Structure 1
Amino acid sequence: MDRIIDAVDRHGVRWVGLVQGEGASATAWQVEGAESSQALAVRFMRSKQTWEHFKSGLSLTAVPVEALASMTFNVPLRPALDAVCMVSGFGYTHRSVNGLPMSERSSPDWYYKGNGKGLVGASRAIKSPCHASGAGIEIEYACVYLIDDCRNPRYIGYTLAVDFSDPVLRHTQPGLAGLSKLRNTALCHELVIAEPPRHTAVRSSIVRRGEIVWDKQSLLGLDQLMFTKRELEALLFQHEELCEPGTVHYVLLGASLSTDKDAFELQHGDVIRASSQEDGLQLSNLFEDEVVRQSCNC
């Protein structure tokens, strides 16, 4: 499977590439003439070709995989203008959370998480604002769509996401539950140009002062959903207001891991780790509480 990456090299030069494979067996290429991963995706969308056909026309230069270690990665496909980016997600979609079965639902929840300003990369800090009541995470897949010139959503690929939210606000003031989701969303730096896996194990852990204080594994993937991906897409993109040409949508498919289900509260300085087995996607994000940061001027 091809993965799009968007990075800045050690010389400060923007770099768009393709990666195949994982770890030591991975191979990487730079896409010549691609100014950003979003620009590359727009070219792909407008070509109306299959990915393989489109890729065959790209000018690719082989790059040593070791060179990726010195790069700073951007969120794949994130547009330069935050206003043309929308982050949202579905809840109560998975058959199991934290390895435990969930009750069947007739319809999912949907929530808005903000524009591109709230997106953070796979190794950057997730921040809780001063007005927050609490902090929790959920691990899920995010599908990425581009709205084409005819106002149609075009699926580009998927990645692993940390859905950060305020569960204390959600529980104590249910009427403000929507506001509890207006928090950062962390995304893996690789966008996989394929459908999400049918079935895979996903794991997340919280490391506090060098010790693992929360660790869970569950199942993630299309076969674990109570609703098909097509049904979720139809629910969202039937609304014309969400289909402005050029908009990039990051759509979370729902969690299979949740700190809130265990009544676990994040603390300033915690490290959030997540990985999915089938595709090897990984994230590691530091959690920062703005109240703590401001009180100690750190």
Structure 2
Amino acid sequence: MKEYTRLVQLIHPEMGRKVGVVKEPYLILLNDVTSVYQLTLQALDKEVSIHFLLDQLISEEQLDYDAIYSGKSEWKLLPSFDNPDNPSHCIVSGTGLTHLSSAMNRNVMHLSESGNSLTDSMIVYQWGVEGGKPEDGKIGVQPEWFYKGTGSILKANGEPLTVPAFGNDGGEEPEIAGIYLVDRKGQPVRIGFTTGNEFSDHVMEKKNYLYLAPSKLRNCSIGPELVLKDDFSNLSGKVSISRGEEELWSAAIKTGEENMAHTLTNLEYHHFKYPDHRLPLQGHVHFLEQAHLVLV
């Protein structure tokens, strides 16, 4: 199986921010950059690949990854991507109804609101099935889109996710997020992918379909690793909920284009077709929708 480059962002109370490359069981720190955002911008400005730049910036300083991941080090993991100088210039958003399981769950949630055989959710999903994977050079059907907030809502591995006083629920949503930076000419560039918990208020949403938008305005987590890869065909894993050492619930998950009604290219086209999503030096964390759950 091909090994992909994995990056983390971390911080130390005295040494400040750093970027590390995962080389199990270590993190190898980079010189001269303090964020993936900065690293990517340097690569774009120099017109070289991130991989080429990594070879130039890699240091000999190694850190114990397990100690950091488990919280036994002064080093703390940060979200795998952010815009550290201007969090408001990083958009956190997502697309929905691209996986069958999510469409079925949404359909059940909103059945009481419609006398039709198909709810609006299932209609939008069916549009995706029929037109979400267009031929090369063609534009496919538009997916559902939602806004979550700016980069200030991003939480790191191990940080708590909070339910606001006005909220009704905090529900996990295991997803993959695409990570992007808009270059100085206004062209979006995909950096890679990261895991995430999109974390939404399903109770609020269930009250009325029109509450979907505010139910998404919550903090969420990404990371801890940003994977530099282009392949998004078929990904699988496991998601679980634990209390202490006890696993309360778990499910296998599947995502990637083979498990979706849309191509990644189609989702990216519809996200970045808006001029406000192509502002120079703007960061984007775009959730690619809850993975298909397979109960185990």
TM interval, shorter chain, is 0.7 to 0.9
Q: Which residue does 1:255 correspond to in 2? A: 290
| Count of residue pairs the alignment pairs up | 255
- What is the correspondence of 1:5-154 to structure 2 with a 5 Å cutoff? 5-9=8-12, 11-20=14-23, 25-66=24-65, 69=68, 70=73, 71-80=75-84, 81-96=86-101, 105-107=126-128, 108-154=143-189
Of 190-199 and 220-229, the range deviating more from structure 2: 190-199
Q: Which residue does 1:228 correspond to in 2? A: 263
Deviations 1:88-140 (A, max 9, x none): 0011112445999x975214311000001111001100000000022211111
- What is the correspondence of 1:202-281 to structure 2 with a 5 Å cutoff? 202-208=237-243, 211-256=246-291
1:192 lines up with 2:227 in the alignment: yes
Deviations 1:68-102 (A, max 9, x none): 622201112311222101000011112445999x9
Q: Secondary structure at the match of 2:159?
A: coil
Runs (4 or more) in structure 1 with deviation over 4 Å come to 96-100
Q: Which residue does 2:198 correspond to in 1? A: 163
User: In 2, Cα distance between the equivalents of 1:29 and 1:212?
Assistant: 32
Distance verdict in 2 for CA 1:174–1:95, change over 3 Å: closer
User: In 2, Cα distance between the equivalents of 1:135 and 1:85?
Assistant: 23
Which amino acid is the alignment partner of residue 41 of structure 1? T
User: In 2, Cα distance between the equivalents of 1:246 and 1:226?
Assistant: 30
Which amino acid is the alignment partner of residue 83 of structure 2? P
Q: Secondary structure at the match of 1:223?
A: helix
User: In 2, Cα distance between the equivalents of 1:239 and 1:140?
Assistant: 23
User: In 2, Cα distance between the equivalents of 1:207 and 1:158?
Assistant: 25
CA contact (8 A) 2:93 2:147 kept: yes
Shift of 1:221: 2.1
CA contact (8 A) 2:186 2:279 kept: yes
2:209 paired residue among 169, 174, 194? 174
User: In 2, Cα distance between the equivalents of 1:176 and 1:59?
Assistant: 47
User: In 2, Cα distance between the equivalents of 1:27 and 1:197?
Assistant: 26
User: In 2, Cα distance between the equivalents of 1:252 and 1:189?
Assistant: 15
CA contact (8 A) 2:26 2:65 kept: no
Distance verdict in 2 for CA 1:67–1:8, change over 3 Å: farther
1:2 lines up with 2:23 in the alignment: no
User: In 2, Cα distance between the equivalents of 1:88 and 1:32?
Assistant: 31
User: In 2, Cα distance between the equivalents of 1:223 and 1:127?
Assistant: 33
Shift of 1:5: 1.3
Q: Secondary structure at the match of 2:57?
A: coil
What TM-score does the superposition give when structure 1 sets the normalisation length? 0.77
**Structure 1: stretches of 5+ with no match in the other structure:** 263-298
Deviations 1:166-198 (A, max 9, x none): 111111122121110001111112111112542
RMSD: 2.7
What TM-score does the superposition give when structure 2 sets the normalisation length? 0.78
User: In 2, Cα distance between the equivalents of 1:248 and 1:235?
Assistant: 16
Which amino acid is the alignment partner of residue 56 of structure 2? G
Question: Percent identity, aligned pairs only?
Answer: 24
Higher helix proportion (structure 1 or 2): 2
Which amino acid is the alignment partner of residue 106 of structure 1? W
CA contact (8 A) 2:232 2:264 kept: no
User: In 1, Cα distance between the equivalents of 2:286 and 2:100?
Assistant: 19
